[in-house]
Amino acid sequence: MEQFRNIGIIGRMGSIRVLDTIRRLKRYLIGRHLHVILEDRIAEMLPGHNLQTSSRKLLGEVCDLVIVVGGDGSMLGAARALAQHKVPVLGINRGSLGFLTDILPEHLESQISEVLAGNYTTEQRFLLEAEVRRDGVTIGEGDALNDVVFHPGKSTRMIEFELFIDGQFVYSLKADGLIIATPTGSTAYALSAGGPIMHPRLDAIVIVPMHPHTLSSRPIVVDADSELKVVVAEDMSIYPLVSCDGQNHVTCAPGDTLHVQRKPQKLHLIHPLDHNFYAVCRDKLGWGSRLGQDNK
């Protein structure tokens, strides 16, 4: 008896390679006599598919497993929609990096077969929830698997703000922005801004200033249960943005406050048994192989 019977498929829009992989995946799963459900948006790109369709939100309610075909950006969007349903999610990489989507298309049948047979590992990745308040009233909110970024938007000017952690004042800062990242997001934008790489199992959040005006402002790693508050300076002339995973944006006014904390629901991410975080880092970040061995 298969552990997964109802399998949802989400795909990145606008990619011929993604559509080709979804067609191949669909044929394979149907050949295994599994019930396949397509996300409605990708289903429109596959005329004549003759399959059940569903919104992304409802996929989490009706599926035992959701497979995301695309890059890490596709996984980020899927994670925000699916985390609350606790449905396991598996990624097939059709992007560039693939930190989160780790099955290669050329190994699709063999590795999916292993997963269907129960040969896989599961990781729980936490998300952040961000809320922007104005005079105590929420004006915008969003979730992020990678990071919440406070930045000046199209302006080239620095922004000024104050940072509080668990109600305690940390510092006031002029900078190009501030990145608040999960361990999952530590290998994304936060890394390019000088933040540390954190293992996905760490229960921590990293706060990374972007080109701060003072060179002594360094990344800070705090407990994942911390409550963070960023207060926008009241005398600023620009309106900065808060971006969640670079996909959802809220415009802030001077005096607004950004509140960030861990989201209670987690993403249940499936990996093949041979998944190795450090091997992924070696491959994606160009780290050296063991001495005397070719870099593969």
- Residues designated as active site: 72
Q: Residue 5 and residue 237: Cα distance in Å, rounded?
A: 55
* Cα dihedral 182→74→139→181 (10° resolution): 10
DSSP secondary structure code for residue 25 in this structure: H
DSSP string of 165-190, one letter each residue: ETTEEEEEEEESEEEEE-TGGGGTHH
Q: Residue 27 and residue 105: Cα distance in Å, rounded?
A: 14
Strands (E), 74-116: 88-93
Residues facing 70 on adjacent strands = 93
Q: Residue 160 and residue 291: Cα distance in Å, rounded?
A: 47
Contact partners, residue 82, CB within 8 Å, separation at least 6: 56, 59, 60, 66, 89, 267
CB 158 within 8 A of CB 238: no
